[in-house]
Chains A and B, each alone.
Chain A
């Protein structure tokens, strides 16, 4: 299956028209789109009101609006006869379209194949990080070379993955996940069984990192709540070990899609984010 991916970001632009669609003040942020075969594309949308990140196909509802169309750089939503456009990398426009396109930091031109780690691939074994403490696991990638930012697992949407271009002066973060299981196995992916998962390694690769900086990882539970912050020195590549088994995560059944945001130094907006899903 050929998958075209256009993921970008999202500096928490608010969605004015959507807010207008929902007087309650819902604000939606288009984090990315994954273009697949017709009818199988989906959009990654964050409801900034709740910090929930979800995956929506055409017809799905989010924040009181319905997704009606998914394109490479935008998603059209509708409610009550009014349409609005969520755009990657900028505020939405209001129907009728078109609205001038703006440069979007897209990882690959449309039509390129996805940056996908083969299923079942394993990461080079890093030193075991202490719980909650990032450890450096490698050197900065060679100039011009990008490591695959994510790996595939048994996720519902399958083989998706992407990198995004970075602004000339900015720092960008790629986020990966590796499950360390009770049975001793170590498996990269983005969907994990909470019954089998002992710890989760959160890998962060920072692009264009220079100087001495601090890195902060924020983990958002499926209900949108900030579960925990993990801070430490930034490095080109770090792994942070999150205890899962027997923690509040399993004891309180915090199952569903988790969002991980990576911040560098004083950045108010995340340098990167990733999601993973915990199942029973």
Chain B
């Protein structure tokens, strides 16, 4: 493994991403800023090999170093322009009672990173598509390489070659600069996202409860597996959830820069998985509905909806009409993939039933998601029956869950190759952080959280009061001497 290459890439990702986040001027904590800098840097860098190819620049190691360094310098310009405003971040140390959880998370993260490093890429979807292209790009220095002279049909229904170059680009970069299997970019995304999610959840509920929620989240077998197996869905989940969360924040403040940040995040999610465009189109309706209820004028709602959709549409255009059209020398026929019997609506309901009964709440579902949905339903059930309290953010997270579920079923209906057991299974990852967010906002955990915080505060005050007389009882020796 080339450690120098990895360190170079981490710096390049950080400065590129930091510059991008700076462009949007979104207020966030130091940890969130650090995490999003890495997340955005990694994702934007995945486009670098594509741009090099489009400009007929040979994809070689020296060129790759030069282009990545160039991109980091270019995106650092917004930072350099505001260097005087840069403040040292104030980091809050974790509480003693968070340490057991943090140790477990670090242990699991170490297992994930080790497997990401040790295993070569495995999923058939990437071996017959993006990873295959990346492997031969490294050997032949071009993305339009000999792979396309091989019969790449998969029983006549393959579209793996036409998937986003997100993985191809990152695999090319990491194979060239770090190690032959690439892949470690996934560990960067995983650690950055999980760190942000933990700090987000602990800002909503008491850290003890945040630790328990994150433990349930970490121990979802398939979600954990896709932290070291490269595919699109984990990365797509990161951007979808981040977009949704910042949209919730935007609904509180109606700041245009935050909306632009949201559209960028949904744009990135669409760039990774083009189907996200459909999800974004449904989420924008949800956003408009909330704005309508908040008595925003219709014209304003329409403008904001257009801004919201601009990112996903733009990145979908870049993905399909710039990258795939010019980088994949083959013809893609979407029509062949679409359902030819759209009028048979009973099939749509059959997909929803399949999602629920064959996937989420089945023995297969238990292997994939463990008892996560049961924990979620238990918290929701207690909220409905006992506390009957739904905060605005909790409600929005629940709407998000519904939107993802309904849209995934619809996608399975529209595109039959988008199977429930495979495609929707990983698509359901998008539900998971939304459900964690809901649980954090739930009435029952908020009550428990308030109780723990009160108790903790009281104990701290008691400690302070107890310590104060002791300090007064032992005056400084000099003062005593002076009085004498």
A and B associate:
no
